[in-house]
Amino acid sequence: MSLIINGVAVAPPADPRVSLLDHLRETLHLTGTKKGCNQGACGACTVLADGERILSCLALAVQYDGRSITTIEGVGQAGALHPLQQAFIDHDGFQCGYCTPGQICSALGMMMEAKRGLPSNVTSDLTAAVTLDRAEVQERMSGNLCRCGAHNGIIDAIRLSVEAAA
Ligand code: FES
Ligand code: FES
């Protein structure tokens, strides 16, 4: 039994009650993933599981046996930032940075959801390809809170990254 964290197989916790978030932070010392509310309300703990965004505070680590988990440490590193990380810097997408790892993982998952054609609550034409305009990005990122109020910069960074990748 093992979890694949950023491409590396690691043992699950001995205690099956340990959340994926606590396993990442407390056991594996991958502290990029943040604990905000610890109850599914803020998005700070967002990571990718096989490319889909999940809230690691609500996930038991043992549930992800054999699954591939990507944390912010697997997205980019100092000197080799992911373009979305650079966009957050360029567009003032953070102040304290506490929410930023979750914002970035969530945005990457959100972009893949849009590519798969998954609609959001504000998608008007369910038969057309998804266009990540401002309203769509705002709606799809509404589960990631920024208590510093950097939401405008965050949305700008994501939208410009989407446009650059198109
Ligand atoms: S810490 Fe998981 S949603 Fe807030
Ligand atoms: S940058 Fe501080 S919470 Fe978002």
Closest ligand 1 atom to the C-alpha of 58? 2
Q: Check: CATH 3.40.50.720 for 3-74? A: no
The domain locations on the chain are: 3-74, 83-165
Q: How far apart are CA 127 and CA 74, in angstroms?
A: 34
Closest ligand 1 atom to the C-alpha of 55? 2
Instruction: Look at residue 77 in the predicted model and tell me its pLDDT.
Output: 82
Q: Burial-class residue 19 by CB neighbours within 10 Å (0-12, 13-18, 19+).
A: buried
Q: How far apart are CA 13 and CA 17, in angstroms?
A: 9
Q: Which of the four pLDDT bands, split at 50, 70 and 90, describes residue 118?
A: very high
Please indicate whether residue 38, judged by its CB atom, sits closer than 6 Å to ligand 1.
Answer: yes
- Taking only the tens place, the pLDDT of each residue in 64-107 is 999 999 999 999 888 899 999 999 999 999 999 999 999 999 99
- Taking only the tens place, the pLDDT of each residue in 106-117 is 999 999 999 999
| CATH number belonging to domain 83-165 | 1.10.150.120
- Average pLDDT value for residue range 111-129: 94
What is the DSSP secondary structure assignment for residue 19, as one 8-state letter? Answer: B
Q: How far apart are CA 120 and CA 89, in angstroms?
A: 27
Q: Is 162 within 8 Å of 132 (Cβ atoms)?
A: yes
Please indicate whether residue 150, judged by its CB atom, sits closer than 6 Å to ligand 2.
Answer: yes
> What's the CA-to-centroid distance between 44 and ligand 2, angstroms?
9
